[in-house]
Amino acid sequence: MFYRRNDKGRYNGGIMNTYGTVLPGAANLARLPRLSAEAKRRIQWFDYYRICGNAAKTCRYFGISRKTFHKWKKRYLKYYLPSLESHSRKPTRFRSSNIPFKTVLLVKNLRTKYPYYSKYKLAVILKRDHEVILSASTVGRIIKKHDLFFKTKYPSKKKRYASKQIIERLHLPRDYAIIKPGDLIESDTKHLPFLGKKRYAFVAIDCVGKGVVIHLATNPSSLKNATVIEAAQDTFPFCIKAWENDHGPENLKDFHAKLTEKDIPHYFAYPYCPDDKPYVERVIGTLEREFVQQGNLVSDIKDQQRRIDRWLDEYHNFRPHQSLDYMTPNEYYQKTIGKIIQPNQVLPMY
């Protein structure tokens, strides 16, 4: 319908603004129950039945059985349309878990003690140390049911300081074979600030057996970084054949001279390419999740080194590694070369 505009600028008989207007009977419409498609279809049955008055004819017309029609006729309340809604089919009794309570309590204790371990690692620990055989999915259901998800004490550090220095370097050959322990060691630096104090963790990892060495220092110099080479040779039960890290200044000068002195080839990753050294990047992420975010940072650097050594003892002898078919690094070394990483003499963590 169109309205003609008059000389005063108004439309004859038309209301221009509908916002804020309440339609007549809107309150009654709002109170009407919202019916499902099934209930609306049943209303059609009884509307037709009220007109023809024949139940058999109604059933033939809608293609339903007389039993169904009379079932809903008994339920139908004329002034209460929701009476035609289907009743809940939810069972009154559910399948109960057949996992013993002691086993559930054991999973809860392990998850509380090691919140950074996945359900796969916990399943391996249950079988290895407690002789309890549970699938990883079952462990995951227990964790989900009891809400065993814990917030980290410290926010994760997403950005790392990167050096802008670019130098000439020798890259790892693409056909270089990494098969045996010691074929390639990757290293990187992890910043561990605490209460305004700067500490740097020089991290080195064996790419095959996942053995790790971590040495702390108060400054990221190449001289301090060179000590991780000595620590790696003293810790790892095999010979080091090659070393790879990034192009940071801590990996030059004294560090490179130390590798040259020991006749260890030194390879450099491409600038800003962490994928070139995935093993050490992964173990640094593990250090962040399983050590730093668990509240293990202290101000004294000697005490900090002892805590890290204690964590490394857990890492080498207790923590299952998925890449090692859920063996520990020492179990892998014992199986392949018949030697293990000896634990350091450390104080208990507190």
Of 230, 165, 166, 218, the C-alpha closest to 189 is 218
Instruction: For the chain, count helices (H), then strands (E).
Output: 12, 5
Determine the pLDDT at residue 12: 53
pLDDT bin (cut points 50, 70, 90) of residue 318 is very high
**74 has pLDDT over 90:** yes
Question: How is the chain split into domains, by residue range?
Answer: 33-84, 101-146, 185-337
pLDDT bin (cut points 50, 70, 90) of residue 35 is confident
Alpha helix segments (H runs only) across 6-162: 26-31, 37-52, 55-62, 66-75, 101-113, 119-129, 136-145
**336 has pLDDT over 80:** yes
Question: Which region holds residue 164: left if phi is over 0, alpha if psi is between -120 and 50, else beta?
Answer: alpha
**159 has pLDDT over 90:** no
Tens of pLDDT along 193-245?
998 889 999 999 999 999 999 999 999 999 999 999 999 999 999 999 999 99
Query: Scanning the structure block, which residue is given the tokens 């000590």?
Result: 227
Determine the pLDDT at residue 153: 62
What is the arithmetic mean of pLDDT over 77-102?
88
Determine the pLDDT at residue 1: 44
Tens of pLDDT along 135-154?
999 999 999 999 999 876 66
What is the arithmetic mean of pLDDT over 8-22?
53
pLDDT bin (cut points 50, 70, 90) of residue 90 is confident
**What distance in Å separates the CA atoms of residue 50 and residue 315, rounded to the nearest whole number?**
78
Is the pTM value of this prediction over 0.85? no
- Give, in order, the Cα–Cα distances in Å from 27 to each of 19, 30, 31, 40, 261: 17, 5, 6, 22, 90
CATH topology of domain 185-337: Nucleotidyltransferase; domain 5 (3.30.420)
Determine the pLDDT at residue 164: 42
What is the arithmetic mean of pLDDT over 276-297?
95
pLDDT bin (cut points 50, 70, 90) of residue 11 is very low
pLDDT bin (cut points 50, 70, 90) of residue 184 is very high
* Percent over 90 (pLDDT), the chain: 69
Amino acid at 97: S
Average pLDDT, the chain: 86
**251 has pLDDT over 70:** yes
Determine the pLDDT at residue 18: 53
9-23, 35-49, 197-211, range with greatest mean pLDDT: 197-211
